[in-house]
Structures are given as C-alpha cells and as structure tokens.
C-alpha cells in the first residue's frame, strides 16, 4: 500500500528553514518547500512520526535538537560529487601549481604542501587531488611532501569518505592505468565496488567543519583550497563572510579553486583571478 505524504505548512517550513539558514547557511526560500517535504518523509517514518509538528518538537528539544539539525542538514543538502570533477582544475594543479611549489620548496618555510577540500562530500575531490599529486611526484621524480585536510558538515558523507569505498561506475571515466594503481576491486561479482588504496587514504584526514562557524578549528594554514560547488547554496553576504574566513587560512600566494558555476564578482576579496574559477591570494 502506498503511504500518504506527510505535509508541512508554509509557516512551519519557513520557521525551520530560517533556523537551517542560521546554522548552516543553506538557502531556504519557499520554492524549496516541496523538496524539503519529500526528502524528510523518510526521516519522519524512521522516527515513527505522523506530522512535521512532531518533528519540530524534536528539533527544538534541548537534548536532541542539535543532533537532529545535523541529520536534517544531511537530508536536504546536495552532496553530488565525482572523481576529477571539473577536470581542468586537476590539469591546472599538475601544470602550474605543483611545478611552482616544487621550485619554491628548497627556500620555502613550509616544507609540506597543505591542501584543504572544504565541503568535501564523500571524498572524491580530496582523493582526486591525492592521485594528481602522486602522479606528479612519479613523473617529475621530485620529493614533494603533502597532506590533505577534507571537511564537511555531513557526518554521513564523512563516514563514506573515510571508508573510501565507491560503486564501480564512479571510476568508469578514470584511465585503466590510474585505476590499476590507486583502486582495489571488491571480490564479489554481483556488487562491484572499488576502494582507494591505503597509500592514498592515508594522505587525507577527514573531519567535521561547519563553514558557518565563527572560527575554523584547523591546525594548519593551506597552500591550496578547494571550495567548489558549496558556496552556491549560500546567500551572497554569507558567501563573502565564508570566503573571508577561508582566505584567512590560505597562505599569501596560495591558490583558491571554486566551482565553474560559481562567481566571486564584486566581492572585493584579496585575490586575483588566474584561470577559470582559480584565484591566487594577493601578497
Ligand atoms: C555539492 S557538494 C560539493 C562536493 C565537492 N566539493 C565537489 O565539488 O564535488 C557540497 C557539500 O557542501 C557541504 N556543505 C553544505 N553546507 C555546509 C556548511 N555549512 N559547512 C560545510 N560544508 C557544507 C554539503 O554537505 C556537501 O557535501
């Protein structure tokens, strides 16, 4: 039997939407009501709830609310990602960023290159960076040391990212040579999966970080930041606040990558454009 759709009123949607925007920056205009309602059906059923009013009580509960908001953000945020997404960025890393870093390394104060994938979803972006750097090291013969920090608000995505196990189709577009080197194949023939090799997994540390937080609790400053396809979900004023905090953690002369459909026009930030959706922090 088909179960009935549980409806949310405009008022309650706007109230919860406002709270979500305040906590996570996610834009929540009334056009998103149907999406919100349909994505939350599963969660309400998991909790045996029959109305959004009941769900709102859980969200506002002082004990359960914080955790439930994070579950809610998980249900409604878009986690779409893929290996080597917007591949020109990985070519730019190989052709411009890594040779520059290699040249500077002997006189550089920091001997390890540090990269941050902010809004990393299930990890494919961070692992694509690691593979790109490994290939650069192999072909150039240089002795470059690096480490990648990858952060997100979705605990579900972070768990998947740490496991680094993906359906086989996700690596369809990757060359056979790279697949052989960096991915292990599952033994089961009816559920084909791949897993990143340990050497690559060990190069990335995943952790929770809400870009809306006032202070980013990160150990390092970074030479390269990937902040791609994440800003798009925020209002422009919030984007500027986030970019200001992110740029604070980028070293002078460091590189910022944003998504191809995102724009930093008229934001007056201390960066200059160097290639499509790639910026350098001004010295
Ligand atoms: C569409 S994915 C982008 C993944 C990857 N950067 C890429 O370009 O393929 C956007 C990610 O941003 C995360 N996100 C949304 N709001 C966030 C916030 N306030 N702080 C940190 N991450 C957030 C989502 O959980 C999601 O995984």
Q: State the average pLDDT over residues 105-110.
A: 59
DSSP 180: H
Q: Could you tell me the CA-to-CA distances from 54 to 10, 16, 20 in Å, in that order?
A: 16, 13, 17
Q: Render pLDDT for 44-97 as a digit per residue (tens, 0 to 9).
A: 999 999 999 999 999 999 888 888 998 999 898 889 999 999 999 999 999 999
Q: Is the CB of 119 under 6 A from ligand 1?
A: yes
What is the spatial distance between Cα 258 and Cα 273, in angstroms, rounded to a whole number?
Answer: 11
Query: What was the pLDDT predicted at 100?
Result: 92
Q: Render pLDDT for 135-156 as a digit per residue (tens, 0 to 9).
A: 999 999 888 899 999 999 999 9
- Hey, which of 77, 80, 85, 249 would you mutate to test ligand 1's pocket, going by the most ligand atoms within 8 Å of its Cβ? 77
What is the spatial distance between Cα 127 and Cα 214, in angstroms, rounded to a whole number?
Answer: 28
DSSP string over 25-50? -----GGGHHHHHHHHHHHHHHTT-S
52 closest CA partner among 68, 63, 66: 68
Q: Is the CB of 128 under 6 A from ligand 1?
A: no
Largest pairwise CA distance in the chain: 70
Q: State the average pLDDT over residues 248-266.
A: 96
User: Residues 6 or more apart from 279 whose CB is under 8 A from it?
Assistant: 255, 256, 257, 258, 264, 269, 271, 272, 273
Element (H, E) at 199: helix 198-201
Q: State the average pLDDT over residues 228-246.
A: 94
Q: Is the CB of 24 under 6 A from ligand 1?
A: yes
Q: Is the CB of 149 under 6 A from ligand 1?
A: no
What are the residue ranges spanned by the domains of the chain?
10-76, 88-164+196-281
Q: Contact, 142 vs 101, CB < 8 A?
A: no
Q: Is the CB of 8 under 6 A from ligand 1?
A: no
Q: State the average pLDDT over residues 187-201.
A: 89
Q: How far is the CA of 251 from the centre of ligand 1 (A)?
A: 22
Q: State the average pLDDT over residues 121-127.
A: 98
Q: How far is the CA of 120 from the centre of ligand 1 (A)?
A: 6
Q: Is the CB of 81 under 6 A from ligand 1?
A: yes
Q: Render pLDDT for 199-227 as a digit per residue (tens, 0 to 9).
A: 999 999 999 999 999 999 999 899 999 99
pLDDT at 268 over 80: yes
Q: How far is the CA of 230 from the centre of ligand 1 (A)?
A: 5
88-164+196-281 has which CATH code? 3.40.50.150
Q: How far is the CA of 103 from the centre of ligand 1 (A)?
A: 32
Q: Is the CB of 230 under 6 A from ligand 1?
A: yes
Query: What was the pLDDT predicted at 105?
Result: 72
Q: How far is the CA of 28 from the centre of ligand 1 (A)?
A: 16
């Amino acid at each position: 039997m088909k179960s009935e759709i549980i409806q949310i009123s405009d008022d309650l949607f706007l109230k919860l939407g406002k709270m979500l925007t305040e906590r996570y920056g996610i834009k929540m205009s009334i056009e998103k009501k149907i999406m919100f309602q349909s994505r939350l059906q599963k969660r309400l059923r998991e909790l045996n709830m029959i109305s959004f009013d009941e769900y709102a009580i859980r969200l506002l509960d002082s004990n359960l609310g914080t955790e439930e908001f994070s579950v809610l953000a998980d249900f409604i945020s878009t986690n779409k990602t893929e290996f080597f997404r917007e591949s020109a960025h990985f070519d730019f890393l190989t052709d411009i960023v890594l040779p520059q870093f290699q040249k500077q390394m002997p006189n550089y104060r920091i001997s390890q290159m540090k990269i941050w994938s902010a809004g990393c979803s299930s990890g494919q972006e961070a692992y694509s960076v690691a593979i790109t750097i490994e290939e650069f090291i192999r072909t150039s013969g240089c002795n470059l040391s690096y480490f990648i920090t990858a952060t997100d608000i979705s605990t579900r995505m972070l768990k998947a990212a740490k496991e680094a196990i993906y359906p086989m189709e996700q690596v369809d577009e990757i060359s056979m040579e790279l697949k052989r080197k960096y991915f292990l194949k599952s033994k089961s023939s009816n559920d084909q999966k791949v897993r990143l090799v340990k050497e690559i997994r060990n190069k990335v540390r995943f952790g929770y970080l809400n870009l809306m937080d006032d202070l980013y609790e990160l150990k390092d400053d970074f030479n390269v930041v990937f902040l791609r396809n994440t800003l798009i979900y925020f209002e422009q004023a919030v984007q500027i606040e986030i970019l200001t905090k992110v740029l604070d953690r980028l070293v002078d002369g460091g590189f910022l990558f944003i998504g191809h459909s995102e724009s930093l026009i008229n934001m007056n930030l201390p960066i200059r454009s160097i290639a499509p959706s790639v910026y350098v922090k001004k010295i």
